[in-house]
Structure 1
Amino acid sequence: MTIERPEWQKYQHEVAEMLSKLGFITKVEEEVPGVRAVHDIDVTARITSAGIAQLWVVECKKWKRAVPKERVLAFSAIVADVGADRGLMFAENGFQAGAIRAARNTNLTLTSLVDFRQNTADEVAAMKVRGLQERITALENKFGSIWDLTQEERDKRIAQYIGPSGFLNLPPGHSAVMSPLLARLSQMKEALNFAKFERWPVTYWALDDDSPITVNAWPGLIYVTEETVATCERIYDQMVSPRGQVKDWRELQSQEMTELLTKIRQPKEE
């Protein structure tokens, strides 16, 4: 005999699955401690943007009637008590007018599965893009600050640079040895800006290749950009505080990214 989940529980898992597809780490029916109490949350969704962890808490109402104002106010108190960055309330049969008014100008979103799919995927992508742009700008500033050091310290940092430079044929220690990496950072920002204005496909440049890769949608662009930015951050950290015997920046790139690029570059069979 097969025991099926009740409809309200199926609804929770459907919401969690949708958030997971957007890049969140989700849990169903998690206990979350607050300032005043421990709360049973239908779904928690966590994501990191620009190095800052965010927590979204979700309440799912698989009801046959519209959700009243009182339920929204109670949920708002929970969101505040656990310090969540955002609260989402899902209901497929809508919300009463008072409930909608109660959620205005707050960090609450009243929605349904269909509306959320249509409206929030772009919002999540935009949040990730803002975070990536901030990380790229921070990296550009870090590499630029090397030129504010004394000649001795600057030469030491440049000598420890292990990032890409081969396609400019520059020897280690050359003053322009970081130029290829800085060019890639600039190209990543440009690709993100093109995508923001729906100018698909966009061009992505890997760190070690002068042949561009075409990217057609947000998930792929965000993934390769996140991976490349993370590699550049590791290159900078290794340059400033060397750890271990890292000889090639490719050792700092994730295996998943290396495998993806290898697969993309493989010639297609006729």
Structure 2
Amino acid sequence: MTANRPEWQRYQLEVAATLSQLGFTTEVEEKVTGVRGEHDIDVTARVTSAGITQVWVVECKKWKRAVPKERILTFYAIVTDVGADRGLVFAENGFQAGAVRAARNTNLTLTSLVDFSQNTADELATIKVRGLQERITVLENKFRSIWDLTPEERDKRIAQYIGPSGFLDLPAGHSTATSHLLACLSQMKEALNFASFNRWPVFYWALDDEYPISVNSWPGLLCITEETVATCERIYDQMVFPQGQLKDWRELQSQEMTELLTKIRQPKDE
């Protein structure tokens, strides 16, 4: 039982639980191999968004005194050796002035459970936004590169396009059929940018909606954006490597996304 564990071990578990609530996959007391050897890490935290994995290593100091500079320098060497994206030191009784100075201009964060919970949600959203924007840019370039193909190859790709064609009801295979999808990708980037500047609500266009959806928080925006980007990636893959006789792009959309959009579109008085 947790209550029977030493106080320092309970603190590790509490830190791991906090990270898990923020969407990380955590492991307590993991052995991590670095360039110079193996290290015992109090908590290892990993989060993947838009195909990019962030690895954070964590040291937990349930001490009755402030953490000194020497401990921070030792931990920074470990963070560097294992190639972690970030190192965090949790301590509820603070850090000595030298420790704070040692952590400046590094990828270390000195924090406590309360401070971390309050300050990290927006930072994680920033990481996810960066990954999504990169995926959207890659996808836009892929669709645009179709026009660099020979006429024969280009016509073949366009003929295999089953994605949304916009609200002019263009037939599949029409030369401008992908324009609506590219417009949606551009609108997604714009929505992410507005949210990054805290300009809520932001407006999001689903692939088959003529009217935008109003979104008021990061969790909702990141969820629908990531699902939509994944659908667009499948539409492109279907153009290049067609699988089966699909007739409607909605077959490439996840069931979770379909259910979410149905719920959003449901009239409030029903």
Q: TM-score normalised by the shorter chain: which range applies?
A: over 0.9
Give, in whole Å, the separation in 1 of the partners of 2:50 and 2:224.
15
Q: Is the 8 Å Cα contact of residues 168 and 180 (structure 1) preserved in structure 2?
A: no
Spell out, residue by residue over 1:122-178, the C-alpha distance to the aligned partner (whole angstroms, 9 max, x if none): 121112111111111111111111111111111011011111126321111101111
CA apart distance, 1:3? 4.6
Conserved 8 A contact 2:2-2:10: no
Which residue pairs with 1:229 in the alignment?
Answer: 229
For residues 222 and 69 of structure 2, the distance between their equivalents in structure 1, rounded to whole angstroms, comes to: 38
1:93-131 CA deviation, whole Å, 9 max, x = no partner? 111112112212211111112222232221211121111
Q: Find the residue that maps to 1:28 and give its secondary structure.
A: strand
Residues 43 and 178 of structure 1: CA distance in aligned 2, closer, same or farther (over 3 Å) = same
Distance change (3 Å), C-alpha of 1:134 and 1:175: same
> For residues 14 and 235 of structure 1, do their structure 2 counterparts lie closer, same or farther at Cα, with a shift above 3 Å needed?
same
Q: 1:53-76, CA deviations, whole angstroms, 9 ceiling, x for partnerless residues?
A: 221111111111101112112211
Deviations 1:184-241 (A, max 9, x none): 1111111111111211111111112223221111111111111111111111111112
- Kindly tell me: are residues 239 and 98 of structure 1, through their superposed partners in 2, closer, same or farther at Cα, counting changes over 3 Å? same
Matches within 5 A, 1:125-136: 125-136=125-136
Please tell me the residue identity of whatever aligns with 2:98: G
2:86 is the alignment partner of 1:86: yes
Structure 1 residue 158 corresponds to structure 2 residue 158: yes
TM-score normalised by structure 2 residue count: 0.93
Question: Is 1:218 paired with 2:212?
Answer: no
Equivalent in the alignment of 2:202: 202
- RMSD of equivalent CA atoms: 1.9
Could you tell me the percent identity over the aligned residues?
81
Task: State the AA in 2 paired with 1:91.
Answer: A
- Mapping 1:93-112, distance limit 5 Å: 93-112=93-112
Instruction: State the distance in 2 between where 1:208 and 1:5 align.
Output: 54
5+ unaligned residues in a row in structure 1: which ranges? none
CA 76–2 in structure 1, closer or farther in 2 if over 3 Å, else same: closer
- Structure 1: which amino acid aligns with 2:129? V
More displaced 10-residue stretch of structure 1: 229-238 or 37-46? 37-46
Specify the alignment match of 1:257 in structure 2: 257
CA displacement at 1:49 relative to structure 2: 4.2
CA contact (8 A) 1:139 1:233 kept: yes
Alignment partner, residue 266 of structure 1: 266
* Contact residue 165 and residue 180 of structure 2 kept, 8 A: yes
- 1:35–1:81 CA contact under 8 A, matched in 2: yes
Secondary structure of the 2:167 match is helix
- In the alignment, structure 2 segments of 5+ residues that lack a partner are none
Q: After the TM superposition, which parts of structure 1 deviate over 4 Å for at least 4 consecutive aligned residues?
A: none
- Determine if contact 2:8/2:61 at 8 Å carries over to the other structure: yes
The residue identity in structure 1 corresponding to 2:47 is I
For the structure 1 residues 50 and 265, does the alpha-carbon distance in structure 2 shift closer, same or farther, using more than 3 Å as the test? closer
Aligned to 2:179: 179
Q: Following the alignment from structure 1 to structure 2, what is the Cα–Cα distance between the partners of residues 210 and 5?
A: 57
Give the Cα–Cα distance (whole angstroms) in 2 for the partners of residues 3 and 25 of structure 1.
23
Maintained 8 Å contact 1:19/1:45: yes
Could you say what secondary structure the match of 1:168 adopts?
coil
Contact 2:191 2:202 in 1 (8 A): yes
Describe the SS at the equivalent of 1:42: strand
Q: Distance in 2 between matches of 1:35 and 1:193?
A: 38
**Structure 2 residue identity aligned to 1:31:** K
